[in-house]
């Protein structure tokens, strides 16, 4: 089983410093990171997006390793033990056209990379109350953007025959994975991360 830890650092130095201990405490094998404080270094253990706002990382104690990796603006991907793993982050201050272009590029990347086991973790900053957010924003309620998000979700689903009917899909933070292999998904409530979002997902 592989444990994925997803953390949005919000550019916080303290969160970056606490990450190593949290990784040990949660027994995480793979790190899904966004809005990092440190946007460079550890290139042999992290795959960064072109804008350095998202990354997939492997802790030094993990037995996992990259067999391939790549990136685009707003996303990074890695191939880890037969699984394609995406980490995404798109800034809240951008136009709807820019956001739609990001989604198109993400979908194109997924088609090019291929693979029949794909996980997409993302912080898209698209807020919609009906999708579980506390408030709406323009990106979250815009019909075109909503449709683009759903089409991307459905296109991932179509490429994975075992893909879920019960995956978590929220527009601000969401994960896609094979239902049979994703055994749990929890929101971490560690006091040290009071203002930092973190999620732990065991994946078999």
pLDDT digit string (tens) for 90-135? Answer: 888 888 788 888 888 888 888 888 776 778 887 877 666 666 666 6
Mean pLDDT of 187-202: 44
Q: Which domain holds residue 93?
A: 2-201
The pLDDT confidence band at residue 51, using thresholds 50, 70 and 90, is very high
Average pLDDT of the residues of the chain: 71
Give the CATH number of the domain where residue 81 resides: 3.60.10.10
In this predicted structure, the answer to whether residue 88 has a pLDDT above a threshold of 80 is yes
- pLDDT attached to residue 77: 94
The percent of residues in the chain predicted with pLDDT above 70, rounded, is 58
Q: What is the pLDDT of residues 67-85, one digit of tens each?
A: 899 999 999 999 988 888 8
If phi > 0 it is left, if psi is from -120 to 50 it is alpha, else beta; for residue 64 that is beta
Predicted TM-score (pTM) of this structure:
0.72
What is the C-alpha to C-alpha distance for residues 92 and 116, in angstroms, rounded to an integer? Answer: 31
Q: Which tokens belong to 16?
A: 């970056």
Question: Number of folded domains in the chain?
Answer: 1
């Amino acid at each position: 089983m592989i444990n994925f830890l997803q953390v949005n650092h919000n550019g916080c130095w303290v969160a970056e410093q606490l990450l190593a201990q949290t990784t040990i405490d949660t027994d995480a094998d793979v790190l899904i990171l966004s809005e990092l404080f440190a946007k460079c270094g550890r290139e042999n253990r992290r795959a960064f997006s072109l804008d350095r706002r998202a990354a997939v990382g492997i802790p030094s104690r993990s037995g996992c390793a990259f067999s391939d990796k790549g990136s685009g603006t707003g996303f990074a991907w890695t191939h880890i033990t037969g699984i394609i793993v995406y980490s995404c982050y798109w800034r809240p201050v951008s136009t709807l056209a820019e956001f739609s272009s990001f989604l198109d590029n993400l979908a194109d990347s997924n088609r090019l990379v291929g693979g029949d086991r794909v996980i997409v973790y993302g912080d898209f900053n698209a807020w919609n109350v009906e999708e579980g957010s506390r408030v709406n924003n323009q990106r979250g309620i815009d019909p075109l953007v909503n449709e683009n998000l759903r089409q991307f979700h459905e296109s991932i689903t179509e490429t994975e025959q075992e893909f879920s009917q019960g995956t978590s899909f929220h527009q601000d933070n969401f994960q896609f994975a094979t239902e049979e292999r994703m055994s749990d998904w929890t929101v971490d409530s560690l006091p040290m991360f009071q203002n930092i979002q973190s999620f732990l997902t065991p994946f078999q």
